[in-house]
A = this chain, B = another copy of it.
Amino acid sequence: MALIVQKFGGTSVGDATRIRNVARRIVAAHEGGNQVAAVVSAMGKSTDELISLAGEVSRSKYPREMDMLLTAGERISMALLAMAIQDLGVPAMSLTGSQAGILTTSVHGQAEIIDIRGDRVREGLDQGMVVIVAGFQGFSPYSRDITTLGRGGSDATAVALAATLGADVCEIYTDVDGVFTADPRLIPDATKLDEVSFAEMLELAGSGAGVLMARSVEFGRRYQIPIHVRSSFHDGEGTWVKETTMEEPIVRGVAHETNDAKITVHGVPDQPGIAAQVFEPLAEAGVNVDMIVQNVSHDGTTDISFTVAKTQADVAREVTEVVADGIRARGVDVDPDIAKISLVGAGMKSELGIAGRMFRILADHAINIEMISTSPIRISCVVRGSDLEAAVRSLHDGFALGDPSKGGSS
Contact = CB atoms under 8 A, between A and B. Distances in A.
A82 B94 contact: no
Contacts of A57: 16, 19-20, 23, 80-81, 83-84, 87
Of A64, A65, A66, which is in contact with the most chain B CB atoms at under 10 Å from its CB?
A: A65
Given A16-B57, A144-B120, A82 B65 contact: yes
Given A53-B16, A93-B64, A99-B144, A84 B58 contact: yes
Contact of A79 (B69, B83, B84): B69
Contacts of A86: 58, 60, 62, 65
A79 B75 contact: no
Interface in A50-77: 50, 53-54, 56-60, 62, 64-66, 68-69, 71-73, 75-76
Which interface class (under 10, 10 to 19, 20 to 34, 35 or more) fits A?
Answer: 35 or more
A383 interface: no
A78 interface: yes
Nearest to A74: B72
Interface string A176-202: 000000000000000000000000000
A146 B79 CA distance: 12
B94 A79 contact: no
A76 to B, nearest CB: 5
A142 to B, nearest CB: 14
A68 B78 contact: yes
Contact of A75 (B64, B66, B69, B87): B69
Contacts of A84: 57-58
B58 A76 contact: no
Given A56-B16, A57-B20, A57-B80, A65 B94 contact: yes
Nearest to A43: B53
Nearest to A145: B99
A119 B58 CA distance: 28
Contacts of A82: 62, 65, 68
A92 B68 CA distance: 13
A20 B58 CA distance: 8
Interface in A324-355: none
Contact of A69 (B59, B62, B64, B80): B80
Nearest to A17: B56
A57 B65 CA distance: 29
Contacts of A146: 96
Interface string A197-230: 0000000000000000000000000000000000
A41 B71 CA distance: 17
Contact of A58 (B54, B62, B68, B87): B87
A65 B78 CA distance: 9
A66 B80 CA distance: 8
A108 to B, nearest CB: 12
Contacts of A58: 83-84, 86-87
Nearest to A58: B87
Interface of A: 16, 19-20, 23, 50, 53-54, 56-60, 62, 64-66, 68-69, 71-73, 75-76, 78-84, 86-87, 92-94, 96, 99, 120, 144, 146
25 contacts: A16-B56, A16-B57, A20-B57, A54-B79, A54-B80, A57-B81, A57-B84, A58-B83, A60-B83, A62-B86, A65-B79, A65-B82, A65-B86, A65-B92, A65-B94, A68-B78, A68-B79, A68-B82, A69-B76, A69-B79, A72-B75, A72-B76, A72-B79, A75-B75, A99-B144
Given A65-B86, A65-B92, 8 more contacts: A16-B57, A57-B83, A57-B84, A60-B86, A65-B80, A65-B83, A65-B94, A75-B75
